[in-house]
Amino acid sequence: MVVDIRPGERSHNYYFYQNFEGQLVFCMTPSPYLWGDDRRSTSEFLTEISKRIINLMPAAANIKVRRTWRGLYPMTPDGFPIVDFPAEAPGYALAVGMCGQGFMLGPGLGATLASVIAGEKNKEDEEVLAGFKLGRNFSGQEKLK
């Protein structure tokens, strides 16, 4: 998987990977964000993501697009996930709102949560999880920029 978190002309970031059938699968976070619940497919983003992929990997210049789809990102107002153990629900762990980055955050976050659940939390785990509390102040702007 190739992840490019640099902002583009009309995108915050994008990623792509080659699947087991040899196809390139790619995703882009538009800038500005498209708020709402519209999941209809569109080719509107192809110009932007094509430029970005070709700039990074010129060999992709002649690939053909087979299909498009659009999904929704579950995200918090500050762009950080919620990872917490709410006192109101003993034994329950929250790990949500990863804004489409769950596959990338999952392995490390899973290991951290496993340590905490097993009672083996260390100082680094505490530092990592401190900014992801459910009750944090969401009045600021997105921090993942």
pLDDT in tens, 8-56: 999 988 999 999 999 999 988 889 888 888 888 888 889 999 999 999 9
Over range 107-111, report the average pLDDT: 90
pLDDT at 145: 47
Q: To which residue do tokens 């629900």 refer?
A: 89
Whole-number Å distance between alpha carbons of 22 and 110:
29
Alpha carbons 127 and 111: distance in angstroms, whole number: 15
Q: Exposed, middle or buried by CB within 10 Å (0-12, 13-18, 19+), for 29?
A: buried
Give residue 34's pLDDT. Answer: 81
Q: Residue 138 has which token pair?
A: 């969401």
Global confidence as pTM: 0.61
| Cα distance between residue 104 and residue 50, in whole Å | 22
Residues 143, 79 contacting (CB under 8 angstroms): yes
pLDDT of residue 113: 93
What b/e string do you get for 98-136 counting C-beta neighbours within 10 Å, with b at 16 or more? bbbbeeeeeeebeebbeebeeeeeeeeeeeebeebeeee
Could you report the per-residue pLDDT of 121-134, keeping only the tens digit for each? 899 988 889 989 99
Segment 93-113 shows an average pLDDT of 85
Judged against a pLDDT cut of 80, whether residue 135 lies above it is answered with: yes
Domain locations in the chain?
A: 2-62, 73-145
Predicted local distance difference test score (pLDDT) of residue 119: 92
pLDDT, tens digit, for every residue of 43-97? 888 999 999 999 999 999 999 898 888 887 777 888 789 999 999 999 999 999 8
